[in-house]
A = this chain, B = another copy of it.
């Protein structure tokens, strides 16, 4: 059986395609009676409208894109969850693109969006992304876009973030309260604004507690698991850190791995806090103290913002900002009690 089109319905009902179209779209200028007849036949013939014809004509795709570095990370997985929940509710489709931290891939993906493939985009940029070189500034003007979590500072655009500096400050203070004198922060990027904010919170907390901030206070880790493992082991041995703040989920587990390899006891030899949404954090050995980001809510908020913009073209999307706080969950990988 070939595809049922609006024209087939029109012929069978002796109506024009225009009338059918309007009836299907519940236009007020169609009589209740014809609407019913059209709907009935459509149901009977199992009519499903061709989205591409409609998109071509309306210049709207009812589709949004989600562009993220990876999906095998509970933050992003939960964020997608949040995004999808609102997209489904609004009847939108969601395209997903993974950049694998490659700036080039990201650029290629974003470039494609100028085609009108999507009505809007939600993005969390790569560790390599420097807004300047990018067509990003341009794109923001051309298509509704909201950044979440990994945003670009330099750009004026809608952003959903969490309180990175504050969270890092809290984490650091917690470490210090547990007796830590030589904390180190593991960072995933020198460019990312969220990394820099976390660094800033960290630095501030050190300063406020008269602890030195040196070149050894931050370790920049690559996306390469093995290299990171080696780097960590060497650094921990050399610098005798007594506390670590891992700013990504992968880095947190890398620390556990390195500690095991070096026969260091967490938390006694080394306290650990991870920025992580791992549901298993409390079952780790020892259970991991985390800064838990509101991943699901951030996804939801980002999507909600985008849809607001899609609904009313007068909505000043690029001006929008929202910060959703993270929470410090104290467990056994650190020594200080809750305050």
Contact = CB atoms under 8 A, between A and B. Distances in A.
A256 B111 CA distance: 46
Contact residue range for chain A? 35 or more
Contacts of A21: none
B98 A50 contact: no
Contact of A115 (B50, B95, B97, B115): B50
A256 B283 contact: yes
Contact of A96 (B3, B94, B111, B256): B94
A194 B112 CA distance: 39
A74 B73 CA distance: 8
A300 to B, nearest CB: 13
A325 interface: no
A126 to B, nearest CB: 15
Contacts of A61: 52
Contacts of A63: 95
Interface stretch (A80-88, A156-164, A206-214): A80-88
Copies in the complex: 2
B80 A96 contact: yes
Interface in A13-70: 46, 48-53, 55-56, 61, 63, 70
A313 interface: no
Q: Is the interface of A mostly helix, strand, loop or mixed?
A: mixed
Interface in A227-283: 253, 256-257, 278-280, 283
Nearest to A84: B98
Contacts of A253: 279-280, 283
Contacts of A55: 52
A287 interface: yes
Contacts of A116: 3, 50-52
Contacts of A97: 84, 88, 94
Interface centre among A94, A256, A285 (most CB of B within 10 A): A285
A93 interface: yes
A105 to B, nearest CB: 8
Contact of A98 (B74, B88, B284): B88
A105 B88 CA distance: 10
B48 A52 contact: no
A71 interface: yes
Contacts of A286: 285
Contacts of A88: 97-98, 105
Contact of A285 (B72, B73, B283): B283
Ranked nearest first, the 5 interchain pairs of A and B with the lowest CB-CB distance are A285-B285, A48-B115, A52-B55, A52-B56, A72-B77
19 contacts: A3-B114, A46-B114, A51-B116, A52-B56, A52-B116, A53-B56, A72-B279, A80-B96, A84-B97, A88-B98, A94-B97, A95-B96, A96-B96, A253-B280, A253-B283, A278-B280, A280-B280, A285-B286, A285-B287
